[in-house]
Structure 1
Amino acid sequence: MEEEKEAEVAARVVVERLAKAVEEVAAISDYRNAYKKHFCNLSRRVKLLGPMFEELRDSKEPIPEKAVRSLAALGRAIDLAKELLQFGSRGSKIYMVMERERIMARFWEVTAQLEQNLGEVSLDELDISDEVREQVELVHTQFKRAKERMDTSDVELYNEVQSIYSMSTETKVEHVILRRLAEKLQLMSMSDLRQESLALYELSGAHEKNPGEVIEKIFVVLKKIEEFMQNQNPKMCTITSAEDVTSSDGTKTPVVPDDFRCPISLELMRDPVIVSTGQTYERVFIEKWLEAGHETCPKTQQKLSSTLLTPNHVIRSLIAQWCEANGMEPPKRPSQPGISASVCSAQEHAKVVDLIRKLSSENSEDQGTAAAELRLLAKCNSENRVCIAEAGAIPLLVNLLRTVDLRTQEHAVTALLNLSIFEQNKGRIIAAGAVAGIIHVLKRGSAEARENSAATLFSLSVVDRNKILIGEAGAIAPLVLLLNEGSRRGKKDAAAALFNLCIFQGNKGKAVRAGVVPTLIGLLTHPEGAMADEALAILAMLSSHPEGKAAIEAADSLPVLVELIRNSSPRNKENAAAILVHLCNGEMQQQHLAVAQEQGVMGPLHEMAERGTDRGKRKAAQLLGRMNRFLEQQQEAQAQVEGKAHARAEALVQ
């Protein structure tokens, strides 16, 4: 009798959770992006399941145990749909266009999961009306058709965004293209631009992988659209306009000058700080950008020479004066930088504690569900990351890295990735012995879990002492394997982790022995060239190591390097030149200089010495010096040969 009562309570909990999940899906809206049709269809189909759960909630009939298990599995699929719909509502529109293959794969995965799990629910065993039953069967058919006919997004839109994405920061874009993009992406107002900027910022600081240069370049695309919209409508925002904007109720709202807004959040700054490039940002936003592992200035894309943040007292004073002149209260500076666990509310803390209790249970379904929810909570903000870590979740998540349930394993490693974004949690994750488990997932997990494992290793390796630990634990060989055979996203994650790890000299030999050099050369010569930047950066680092230099020589890479110095981005030119500097030094110097000279390197080097980056100019000057000495030696040797030949001829004549 007691067991029956427990089963009945469990069934009611499952049904209640399903009904609530559908309500949460119904509350998500505003799918103003390239996939609006897909998001709206997915949302509509999930909402059509609501009446079934409502009838089950009101029914007095018991639900068979098998049906409860099927409904619970359906609930997990709806949670996946909810996660995707939330991203569609709040995520970056430009990022969705650029990552169209991944987005469409997510749609297919979620649709297939819903179709499968809904098909496994035996409607005959449920106390529902014929009308609701017919509706559920129709939804199941719609999911099946949608899975089989998954179409793609606007190809023209993708190509136009891709063309701007591939341009340098200084390249001018035709106004007609920018207008078309702004209209298609619905980035026509200050509110739209602010939401897109914050969505990109959230991706850069709390994404399930380190997006690195992808997000930085998307910021460039957004900046070009923003500048175009400001030029078209100076009253929309900020640059020099001092006019006020009249709201619908007739009151005037002062337009905030551009210099007073954080380039990341586009909001009035409270605690402005200066980075090494001279740009000013809101402290909390630039700190999170740096915590995510970025080494560039978000606005200018220049590499930061230092992560030191200097308070901008001048701008802060000007903001205070401007606020006073416009009858506004000056923004209050935060009492202290950083995040305190006290910001986590009692309700949030109670939720985290409940999830950790489930994580500690022996029920695998509870563990999987809890890991999935912690993954999402840790993705949201730094407050949650602190709260989850301090409640003791990290050791429990580490234990799940070796579970046989691949989905739970994926949730666990991704939750650790999201938690690692907060700097103090990196040490906690390492102390919990997570590295071995993360490498286990990197070797044997699902495709997405492997990618997120690589991203987690990248995040942890930001701390120098962790580079040694991760390298010694055996992470490098499986990272090289992922770089070789993974998806585009997987290759990006693996490259980011390998770059960080190879900053430590002891890891360079491990990477070379794992076969990374041929893989990197292959990425350089790939027709799409999608990974050329990352491959060159890693090769430049390895070329200073004896084993790395020998492997690059063996790969017959000189023609490729010379071509990159001739035709590539300034950053790639300087890395290609740095590799050549190392190759053209030592026993093989003469041979390499001869090949480079035959490939026509002199002209590109002279141009690079005049117009390249500072580092590029130095490398070009070094190479030109060696090349000139080599050519002088060749001329001297030729002169000696000709002199001897002339002497022999004279002797014969006499």
Structure 2
Amino acid sequence: MDEEETGEAAARAVVERLVKSVADISTISDFRQAYKKQLSNLSRRIKLLAPMFDELSDSKAPIPVDVLRSLVSLQASLHSALDLLRFGSEGSKLFMVLERDEIMKRFQDVTVQLEQALGGISLEKLDISDEIREQVELVHAQLKRAKERVDLPDVELYNDLASIYNKNTDHASADPAILHRLSDKLQLVSISDLKQESLALHELVAASDGRDPGENIEKMSMLLKKIKDFVLTQDLEIDTVTNQKVPSSDVKPLVPVIPDDFRCPISLELMEDPVIVASGQTYERQCIKKWLEGGHDTCPKTQLKLPSISLTPNYVLRSLISQWCEANGVEWPKSPFMPISPSACSSSEHANVDSLLLKLSSPSLDEQRAAAGELRLLAKRNADNRICIAEAGAIPLLAGLLNTVDPCIQEHAVTALLNLSIYDENKRRIISSGAVPGVVHVLRNGSMEARENAAATIFSLSVVDENKVTIGATGAISALVSLLSVGSPRGKKDAATALFNLCIYQGNKGKAVRAGLVPTLMGLLRDPAGGMVDEALAILAILSSHHEGKAAIGAAKAVPLLVDVIRSGSPRNRENAAAVLLHLCGGERLQQHLAQAQECGVMGPLQELALNGTERGKRKAKQLLDRMSRFLNLPKQFEVQAEVSTAPGEQSGFLASIFSGQ
């Protein structure tokens, strides 16, 4: 391997590490309350760098040595940020408040490191799109502002903790009002919370590598014991259904010994809503959901990798638990589904949903069809119904019907999921249930209305950035391209909105190009009567920033069409066409595309766009004119000085606007 190849391999390795670091950071979402704002902002800013690393990963252009050194520095900064964010998610709550000076110093150090590393990167030397460059510049500006100010965490919380922490003996009295505030603010309100905090303190000891961690950890352990004693001895207990404190007189006496099979293997408590995972083991729904949402993909009991993360209600076990509770005088929820907040729906509506879910599990196709159709209508009506239906456990059952042979049931099921996904929390539930492959199956094989609604479901789910990756890996993109080619007018619109949203993620652009999206878009562009020109240009503008997309658009002989749009299209379409042409004229066939555009008479329309177009259109037109003057040796009269806006984020806001009605 020669020196050049060695350098390229080193550069690829650095970029791969950057991609992995951001991916690791993206898995951390739940931060300790005391620093939630600061750490969430840091995480959000870092995740905005992901598209730059994705474009560098896809690019074949070499990375200059000085830029590579800056990227190595950035990688070290991301590693420090990852350690801080992990501690902010899993570390001791007591330590994070009491050692606020140390934590804030770490936070400021990481912010400064990231800001300096980004500031040292010459973005103009990298093969990245204008939009990504603007986004990185925005992140850099935010970090620069963040390093200049310090937002201290809750001062009252610190003072309360310090007042008890500084009492040296285990038996020193503590104000119950302070303990009450600490329990609430630190979210140490249950035995499970207290156990987790105790483990976090033990982790601090383990992290000391055998060194004496000093008296601080010991004093924190004593403080935790005081909070634990308060929680256990007060006349307030935690209601496990509402998570609210209730008088101890309302808490039932100790129950008889619970059979092991009735206990959740995670919490060791009596199961109220047992569900079966793909390994065949049964867990309490809330416990296994928390496990899965924590990024685990294995069965906690068997440690085997789960082929899917769907949860199936265990009605037989629930019935046995119900009988045991009745025989032993133990109060236990009678509903066969998760308890629902009274604010979500009334008791009669709740009972109706329960009845419908039982019918979904019926072997009778007629009952399944009727129940799925009713749930579809209920989920369409209002937000309360969407919450009620989802919390009752409908989503896994509906997902299971997506592969049915009955086209009517299939259509009802996918449309019910679409309606449920309008509520943001349900998007996560649908993804976690493993429903996406079933939605893609409907997208390929369902009736036309079912396919349209499957496409709309994918668009709704892909609004969440993390879901774009999950959906892109299921084969959804090729199925959407097929619908865009042969669907009804509404089906094409639904497919286009879904493809647009998925292709915002850099990793999906290549998949879309390889699925044949560019020729399909060019066909829509050549048919103005079809009403899909706006959508086709918006998606082409996204794909043209990807090297495979750029090559496919060039091969499709797009330049004459793009020039026609710049000449006579709508303001938004003119700016998108200019953006696509600018990307085409920045690659290997730069001069060929520039010359072809000149032959098609682009100069006059570009000059007019540079003076009278939208702000983004002006900027793209001026860049094209500058490039044509430079590479085609045109006379000075073609240069246009136009004052343009370079506001960060303007492109993504525009592109999203054409789909705002979805």
User: TM-score, length-normalised on structure 2?
Assistant: 0.44
TM-score (norm 1): 0.45
